[in-house]
A and B are shown apart, each in its own frame.
Chain A
Amino acid sequence: MIVLGLVLVAILYGSIVNLQITTALLASAIRHSTPLVLGAMCGLICERSGIVNIGIEGQMLFSAFIGFLANVYTGNLFISVLIALLAGALLGLLMAFMSVTLRTNQIIGGTVINILALGLTGYFYTAGLRTQGKLGPIPLGPLADIPLIGPVLFNNPPITYATILLVFIVNFVLFRTAWGLRTRAVGEHPRAADTVGIDVYKMQYVNTILAGAMAGLAGAFLTLEAVGSFERGMTNGRGFVALAVMIFGKWSPLGAWGAALLFGFTTAVQTQLQFAGQVQIPHQFIGMLPYLMTIIVLAGFVGRSRPPAAEGEPYTKE
Chain B
Amino acid sequence: MSESPVSPHKKSQLSEFFNIIRNESLLRSLTLQVVAVLLAMLIGAVILLLSGANPIQAYGALLKGSFGSMAVLARTLEKATPLVFAGLAVAFGFRGGLFNIGAQGQLLLGAMTSAVVGFSVTGLPAIIHIPLALLAGASAGALYGAIPGALKTFRGAHEVIVTIMLNYIAINLTDYLADGPFKDVTPGNIVARTPEILDTARIPAVAGLPIGFLLAILVAIFIWWLLWKTTFGFEIRTVGLNPHAARYAGIKVARTVILTMVISGLLAGLGGAVETQGVVGRYQPGFNVGLGFDGITIALLGKTHPFGVIPASLLVGAMKAGSNEMQFTAGVATQITDVIQALILFFVAADVIVRGLLRMRSTGEEGVKLTTGWGKL
Contact = CB atoms under 8 A, between A and B. Distances in A.
Interface of A: 52, 54, 98, 102-109, 111-112, 114-116, 118-120, 122-124, 236-237, 240-241, 243-244, 247, 282, 284-285, 287-288, 291-292, 294-295, 298-300, 302-303, 307, 311-313
Given A115-B342, A294-B165, A299 B157 contact: yes
Of B179, B338, B353, chain A has the most CB atoms within 10 Å of the CB of B338
Interface string B288-302: 000001001100100
B345 A307 contact: no
A291 B51 contact: no
Contact of A52 (B47, B173, B176, B373): B373
A54 B160 contact: yes
B131 interface: no
A312 B372 contact: yes
B371 A107 contact: yes
A302 B51 contact: no
B298 to A, nearest CB: 12
B358 interface: no
B342 A112 contact: yes
B165 A123 contact: no
A302 B370 contact: no
B168 A288 contact: yes
B374 A307 contact: yes
Interface string B328-356: 00000101111111110110011011000
Contact of A115 (B99, B172, B297): B297
Given A102-B352, A105-B349, A109-B349, A119 B370 contact: no
A294 B368 CA distance: 29
Lowest 8 CB-CB distances: which A-B pairs, in order? A119-B338, A312-B372, A122-B335, A312-B373, A119-B339, A116-B342, A284-B176, A115-B342
Nearest to A105: B370
B172 A287 contact: yes
A118 B376 CA distance: 29
Nearest to B371: A107
A246 to B, nearest CB: 10
Contact of B333 (A111, A122, A294): A122
Interface string B45-77: 001000100000000000000000000000000
Contact of A298 (B51, B157, B168): B157
B156 interface: yes
Contacts of B180: 282
A303 B156 contact: yes
A34 to B, nearest CB: 20
B103 to A, nearest CB: 12
Given A112-B349, A291-B169, A303-B156, A120 B339 contact: yes
Contact of A284 (B101, B175, B349, B350): B175
Given A102-B353, A288-B168, A302-B156, A118 B373 contact: no
